[in-house]
Amino acid sequence: MLYELGRHQIELPGIAPALDAQSKIILWFEGKILTQDRQIAWSEAEVQYPYSAREFVGMLDGKAYFTASVSQVSADQSLSSLRDIAYLDETAFMLCARSRGLLEWRLQHQYCGQCAQATHQVEGENALSCAPCRLRFYPRISPCIIVLITRGDQVLLAQGENHKEQGWYSTLAGFIETGESAEQAVMREVKEEVGVTLKNIQYLNSQAWPFPNQLMLGFHAEYDAGEILPAPGEIADAQWFNIHDLPKHPPSVSIAGWLIRRYVENYQS
């Protein structure tokens, strides 16, 4: 979490308690979250739809949160995407992101990928196990780097091929390869995507970004050398932008937007 550290008492993953009147359950239908009056959680007594087995999400401020997928909803039930929740409340977004990850993990690891035998729940932890292979399968997390590159009062922002229709420019990002450090991934991704080299790489912050399962490690780096050369087929455009004349870019709810806002505020102060 970027901004709400210390505002809540959070226990993840913790040991699943018994359901009680204070417990909350996050329900999903066809990839969207059931909502009501901008709320995303119901007590067990209020759940009126048939749902799959529950997954324990964690404890938040002493209350237990669970999640499940439902097979049907009423015609007047409102639904929200995970991105919608991100704009409402950061803590709710974290809980929903974790709940979706747990449901997908359970669905995608019903059978062992090595011997195809059914997996079973490991008692006391979020793990599925294959008895014949003795393999364990945990909820997937994919580490990624995301970096804001600066040159005085300018920032280097790029527009991905998949986002050029929306007109968004953002910081550069990419997955960490096997055997790489995060800092090596920063250097490699930037060189591959826009052709420049960096100096003074500094880690700043992180954010879970569940589209589908990234852990974004946020960095700031200074430009060192090279001309911008956008990677064909991946980067539609990349430019230096003055901090007083920025293009359409991500909001601060994302770590990309947070990195940009932080630099602009610090540079002007």
- Among 236, 242, 152, 243, CA closest to 194: 236
134 or 252, which is more confident?
134
Give the residue from 148, 166, 160, 147 showing the smallest Cα distance to 241. 148
Domain count, the chain: 3
In a domain, 177, yes or no: yes
pLDDT band at 1 (very low <50, low <70, confident <90, very high): very low
Residues 167 and 262 in one domain: yes
**Quick one: 200 and 257 in the same domain?**
yes
Is residue 116 located within the same domain as residue 87?
no
**pLDDT on residue 12:** 82
Sheet containing 128-130: order of strands: 120-121, 128-130, 135-137
How far is Cα 122 from Cα 153, in angstroms, rounded to an integer? 53
Asked if residue 153 and residue 75 are part of one domain, the reply reads no
Lowest pLDDT segment from 85-89, 112-116, 225-229 = 85-89
pLDDT given for residue 166 in this prediction: 82
For residue 3, being part of any structural domain is answered with no
Claim to verify: residue 155 and residue 245 sit in the same structural domain: yes
Chosen domain end from 139, 160, 184: 139
**SS3 state at 199:** strand
Q: What is the mean pLDDT of residues 103-122?
A: 95
Statement to judge: residues 114 and 217 lie in one domain: no
Residue 222 exposure: Cα atoms within 13 Å on the Cβ side: 6
C-alpha closest to that of 142 among 108, 175, 113, 109: 175
24 & 129 share domain: no
* Range of the structural domain that residue 42 is part of: 10-108
Residue 4 within any structural domain of the chain = no
* pTM as predicted: 0.89
Q: What is the pLDDT of residues 78-94, one digit of tens each?
A: 888 998 888 888 888 88
Section 216-231 average pLDDT = 98
- 128-130 and 135-137 beta bridge pairing: antiparallel
In a domain, 2, yes or no: no
Which pLDDT tens digit goes with each residue over 147-158? 999 999 999 999
DSSP letter (8 states) at residue 70: B
Q: Does one domain contain both 153 and 252? A: yes
Considering the domain boundaries, does residue 5 fall inside one?
no
CA atoms of 249 and 265, how far apart (whole Å): 16
Amino acid at 195: G
One domain for residues 162 and 197: yes
Nearest partner of 145 among 98, 181, 170, 193, judged by Cα: 181
Stretch 125-146: mean pLDDT, rounded? 95
pLDDT of residue 24: 86
Please give the pLDDT value at position 221.
98
Are 149 and 262 in a shared domain? yes
Read off the CATH number of the domain in which 204 is found.
3.90.79.10
Torsion angles phi and psi, residue 205, rounded to 5: -165, 175
The answer on 256 and 154 residing in a single domain is yes
CATH of the domain at 47: 3.90.79.20
pLDDT of 47 over the 70 cut:
no
